Homo-oligomer: A and B are copies of this chain.
Amino acid sequence: MARKTYREALNEALRLEMRRDPTVIVMGEDNAGGMGAPGEDDAWGGVMGVTKGLMPEFGRERVLDTPISESAFIGAAVGAAVMGLRPVAELMFVDFMGVCFDQIFNQAAKFRYMFGGRAKTPVVIRTMYGGGLRAASQHSQCLYPLFTHIPGLKVALPATPYDAKGLMIQAIRDDDPVIFFEHKALYDLPGEVPDEAYTVPFGEASITREGKDVTIVAFGRMVHLANEVADRLRRDKIGVTVVDPRTTSPLDEETILDAVAETGRVVIVDEAHPRCSMAADIARLVAEQAFDDLKAPIRTLTAPHTPVPFSPALEDAYLPSAARLEEMVRSLMRA
């Protein structure tokens, strides 16, 4: 056990699985870097350095740089998965899904079903999401609700280095297509991460705080806000349970419903836009299946129905904050 960052945890997961299984390959723009260039090899290791060092260990045959042609190379990862590889392809920012979504949602997601169960597509698509880096409208979106909507895809959203590693190893070993969301503001987050390989199973939520008054269901980076608020409210004797579903598809409905049964109050915090979001999705789950447990209206905290603004002053106002979450929980306790 050692302290590692979210980035290091991901790198380690990829490295361990590549060592274990020769069919695992990695591909993406500048995933090694320096391809065809006169300078250093493995010059980048991906734009955030997550794949750094893999090429020197596994060679260019297993760590492939790509042209800027997401449809072609994500589609190639999908096709290769059907034919026996376990590719991990990087869609650098999830905001770029618009140039390659077909290969993900009509091909990878549907093959097994359309082919009557006679195919499997063990592909992982790693992608970066979320706000906070002043990266503006086309590089800050969450968009996991769009992928969660699509049957046939699995969607993982690790909030911690531990989960990042365990979910990534599970994603690679999983026989279904997995969209793996890495929050760009979490790469430097440290945490305890065992050195050996382990998996975090999909569809198992993690309960990061326990309390009897309010349940907060939080996704990705929002889990840290929720933890912070729970810790703060504990001092005022308000008990908060924080549920981090870790994967939105499959979704651990049971843990969420159990928590709500216990607390009777629920706040859902989702960094995505509000409409047809995970906030809405969980609200539906609870309102349909745990209605009689509820002591108060369901509350949701999301980004507003606007693109992500550039200016720091605006982005700070845009993102869900711990302060607003805390106020929402407090107001729910008063209701």
Contacts and interface: CB of A to CB of B under 8 A. Distances in A.
A51 interface: no
A86 to B, nearest CB: 23
Given A110-B307, A275-B249, A276-B148, A288 B292 contact: no
A96 to B, nearest CB: 8
A146 interface: yes
A214 to B, nearest CB: 15
A292 B296 CA distance: 8
A113 B136 CA distance: 11
A134 interface: no
Contacts of A152: 307
- How big is the A interface, by class? 35 or more
A333 interface: no
A150 to B, nearest CB: 7
Contact of A298 (B281, B291, B304, B310): B291
A151 B307 contact: yes
A8 to B, nearest CB: 31
Nearest to A298: B287
How many protomers of this protein does the assembly include?
2
Interface string A135-173: 011100000011011111000000000000000000000
B307 A284 contact: no
A289 B283 contact: no
A48 B306 CA distance: 35
Interface stretch (A35-43, A101-109, A199-207, A220-228): A101-109
A188 to B, nearest CB: 27
Contacts of A56: none
A300 B275 contact: no
A136 B116 CA distance: 12
A59 interface: no
**Which of A98, A273, A296 counts the most B-chain CB atoms under 10 A from its CB?**
A98
Interface in A78-98: 95-98
By Cβ-Cβ distance, the 9 closest A-B pairs, closest first, are: A98-B102, A291-B297, A283-B284, A98-B101, A287-B287, A280-B284, A145-B276, A280-B280, A287-B298
Given A280-B281, A283-B288, A284-B287, 18 more contacts: A97-B101, A98-B101, A101-B101, A113-B306, A113-B309, A114-B310, A145-B276, A151-B305, A275-B281, A276-B281, A279-B284, A280-B283, A283-B284, A284-B284, A284-B300, A286-B287, A291-B294, A291-B297
21 contacts: A98-B102, A98-B103, A98-B104, A110-B307, A113-B306, A113-B307, A113-B309, A114-B137, A114-B310, A146-B146, A149-B273, A151-B273, A151-B305, A275-B281, A276-B277, A276-B278, A276-B280, A276-B281, A283-B283, A283-B287, A292-B297
